[in-house]
Amino acid sequence: MEKCPTCSTPLDEEGACVTCAAQAEGLAFLFRSDYASGREIMGLLEEAGMTPHMERVPAASEQEQSHPRWNLYVPREEVEEAQRYLGKDWRSLLADEAALEAARRGTEAVDLDAGGEITCPACGHIFTTQGATVECPECGLGLGVPGEGE
């Protein structure tokens, strides 16, 4: 998959970059995530009186064919307000020790090929892999298939 030389967004079938096109139309990129997370943040921004936009990003991998990524934008004149608003919300998590621990787990790599115990990045449950597909027995998070890492 070819990527934009300016922003590294995967290019669409015509070789165009959706992120750069949105910015040319006056939108400012905030972040890229799954649909549910993007919709949640979009709803918060709308409640705060802003006008966010979401757009599906061309798939960069086979996994993204079924679980696409989405860009979240706001009009350029709303970007500072949106960043301030979202930053205030995220800063409140810094006082929550469980949220900090979850964030730490989320930054650690999970090596399915190493064997032994794995700590689930979502819930923190420690378990040993079993079967062809690794899934946390506590929360159900699918971690992939050993031998198919990138």
Task: Identify whether residues 82 and 116 lie together within a single domain.
Answer: no
For 39-57, the pLDDT digits (tens) are 989 999 999 999 999 999 9
Cβ atoms of 149 and 112 within 8 Å: the answer is yes
Does residue 3 lie in a domain region?
no
State how many domains the chain has: 2
Same domain, 52 and 109: no
List, for the chain, all residue ranges whose pLDDT scores fall below the cut of 70.
Answer: 89-95, 99, 106-107, 131-132, 145-150
Kindly state whether residue 126 falls inside one of the protein's structural domains. Answer: yes
136 and 76 within one domain: no
Span 109-123, pLDDT tens digits = 777 777 778 888 888
The interaxial angle of helices 35-47 and 79-91, nearest 10 deg, is 110
Q: Could you tell me if 89 and 22 lie in one domain?
A: yes
Residue 62 lies in a domain: yes
With b for 16 or more beta-carbon neighbours within 10 A and e for fewer, the 69-108 pattern comes to bbbbbbeeebbeebeebbeeeeeeeeeeeeeeeeeeeeee
Say what the pTM is.
0.61
On whether residue 75 sits in a domain, the answer given is: yes
Instruction: Pick the last residue of a domain from 93, 109, 136.
Output: 93
Could you list the residue range(s) of the whole structural domain that residue 118 is in? 97-144
